[in-house]
Chain A
Amino acid sequence: MSHRLHIAGWGAVSPAGWTSSDLFNAVLDQRALPTSLDLRHPDAPPIPCRRVPPLASPPIWLRQPRLRRSSPITRFAVSAALEALQTFNQPEASTTSLGVLFAVQNGSVNYSSRFFAEVLANPGLASPILFPETVFNAPSSHISSLLASPSLNNTLVSDAGGFITALEMAAHWLDDDQVTDCLIISAEEYDWLSAESLALVPGPKIASEGAAALWLRRTEKPSPNDILLEQITEAATITNQQSRSTAIQKMHLDLEAPNHATLISAESGHPTWDRPHSETFASRAGPRFTLQSQFGHGFSILGGWQCALACELLQRGVCHNAVVAADTGANQAQAAWFSRPSH
């Protein structure tokens, strides 16, 4: 990164609630979040899940025509994005170009599942209202529309590490003057279709849902209260030639953050799955936070929740440096280092 970049806002929706403070408080309190069992069919295995609690009343932005029929993934994404932008300075909007990067893995699986059931029942009567909402970039399109921003908007399909990949692309856009501001968002919604897939693969088994968002912008003269994005490590890909352990080690070697930086790790609470991660980061001296065992498997959101927690920790003065280490398990390992130096 040739320019200094800072986090101007962040937001999170999680099983702990609809704000990043809810996420932070649940982590700090080590609060056990309720797990429910979804039995979608008498013959199907019950699915453990941690859902986002319902809102007491519908938010005002749901009045926007494009959001009325949106599925939960869009609503989670919008809520996190608006929380991140709550200090967005509207008067300067005319000189602002706001890019949107949306990281996702499962996407709008509620509507995809419903639409496909309709297709199998009678393709001629499948709903034209559902189909457009099934495309991966529907949530990010709604967000650009809500914010009246015709600038760049990319949806990246990945997994738990996708948020860091999107953060890196946002940094490139800002470095190259393609946008003045960038929102990085990830969101997922619970559905048995994706949740049951967790039983088929190694790793955590409790499905979760929610969203996370960061507002990234360039800063010429960082102020003491700014949360700075110091570094994003080069993506270390997992291939036939490079194991997951090696990729995680490469990520760690590339990381320039001080050894005492707070680590927000991608560990899941499953010792076998976590071993490459915990062994690689064993030498680090700083405090360590993990989210998956408490919040569940958030698919693409995990990296976003990690970043939102890093910002909360830095803003509240819990630490001066925070490292988010995202290990996707199957694709690539990548880390981000944030700081708030003058606190």
Chain B
Amino acid sequence: MLILAGIECMGQARWQSTHLNESVALSFGTSAAAMSLGEAYYKVKTSQPRTQRGLAHLTHLYQPSSQIRLLADALQVSGPVHIIANACASGSNAIGNAFHLIKSGRARLAITGGYDALSQLVFAGFDSLQALSTTLPRPFASDRDGLALGEGAAVLTLERLEDARARGASILGEITGYGSSTDLHHLTQPHPEGLAAIQSMTAACHEANWSPGQVDYINAHGTGTPLNDSSEGAAICHWAGDAVSQMRVSSTKGGTGHLLGGAGAVEAVICLMALQGGWIPPNVPIQNPDPICQFDLVQTPTDSPLCRILSNSFGFGGANATLAFQHPDLEPA
């Protein structure tokens, strides 16, 4: 999945051979990565304790660093590698890290994103926490009963806006802000008022130099679990203040499922497509929104020119990340 996404991304970016000769920072997020390979290793080791045949290969491929090296070799790039494992915020944290590497001038080019594949351990883990929906995931519905797990990967190329313009690149969007914070409330439960979410949204908008009233749309973390959506809803309401009733919000996880370490990256791609296409990705339709939704929960496909988008990603361990995306035709922030 990661390599396929990477090849598609590089085809779209149209980097020239001169780019490939430069150092390219690789910043990726994953949570469970290739856990299924670890599971296969465990099963062999416990059923045939003396066996070693084939295990070196599994051990090698299980390592996230090997996965990124395979991607780098497939894309014929090399450079410093950062693999961030901040649970379900990993993809957004990795993109935010790459953004700061470019913005600070520490890197001129970056390939970034997130990925995760389903595995028995992860599925049973979320089930043990009673976080999985037994019906359908319905983010922000008052009768929501949990999330649906998914798997996937997304890859982005980042470069300085002036460099992209100079080479006549087709620019899909500008990252203008990144906020990250840590929720101290509980290892797996967010603070009921979403204090860390407020902090990450505020930090992203501070860096982008945006006020809440300028944000056209928020792609919420919106897992569909009772605790996440009430906490995130409260955070959006508090953060948006007087602008809350005009704030258009949706979660795309009702359609994609929760892609864990890949979620933030795939949702970043959804945000870029929305910026390009001028539409708002809808929430799955729900009958009764949670009363916490004082914002405009978008439930039908809606055409609308978009200039500024926030994307939230929150994870176990209290990892919170918010990315700010801006339409490339807007003046740089």
A interface list, Cβ under 8 A from B: 40-41, 43-45, 66, 100, 104-105, 112-113, 115-117, 119-120, 123-124, 126-128, 131-138, 140-142, 144-145, 148-159, 165, 169, 172, 175-176, 193, 196-197, 199-201, 234-235, 237-242, 328, 330-332
Contacts and interface: CB of A to CB of B under 8 A. Distances in A.
Given A141-B182, A176-B104, A234-B80, A154 B86 contact: yes
A32 to B, nearest CB: 29
B55 interface: yes
B92 to A, nearest CB: 12
Nearest to A239: B78
A126 B124 contact: yes
Nearest to A2: B104
Nearest to B24: A237
A149 to B, nearest CB: 7
B56 A201 contact: yes
A238 B72 CA distance: 11
Contact of B319 (A105, A141, A200): A141
A197 B37 CA distance: 13
Contacts of A138: 187, 316-317
A150 B183 CA distance: 6
Contacts of B10: none
A41 B45 CA distance: 10
B79 interface: yes
Interface stretch (B60-68, B167-175, B211-219, B270-278): B60-68
Interface in B236-293: none
Interface string B303-321: 0000000000001111100
Interface residues of B, number: 65
Contact of A126 (B82, B83, B125, B181): B125
Contacts of A135: 31, 85, 87, 316-317
Given A104-B85, A128-B128, 6 more contacts: A120-B43, A149-B182, A151-B182, A154-B180, A156-B85, A197-B41
- What 9 A-B pairs are tightest by C-beta distance, nearest first? A141-B317, A44-B49, A136-B85, A131-B125, A235-B80, A200-B56, A137-B317, A128-B128, A119-B124
B230 interface: no
Contacts of A150: 181-184, 195-196, 199
A63 B187 CA distance: 16
B254 to A, nearest CB: 24
A131 B128 contact: yes
B104 A172 contact: yes
A240 B70 CA distance: 9
Nearest to B315: A137
A28 to B, nearest CB: 33
Interface in B130-187: 130, 180-184, 187
A138 B180 CA distance: 17
B289 to A, nearest CB: 29
B82 A148 contact: no
Contacts of A104: 85
A242 B21 CA distance: 13
Contacts of A197: 41, 55, 59
Contacts of A157: 30, 33, 64-65, 83-85
B124 A123 contact: yes
Interface centre among A66, A124, A148, A158, by most B CB within 10 Å? A158
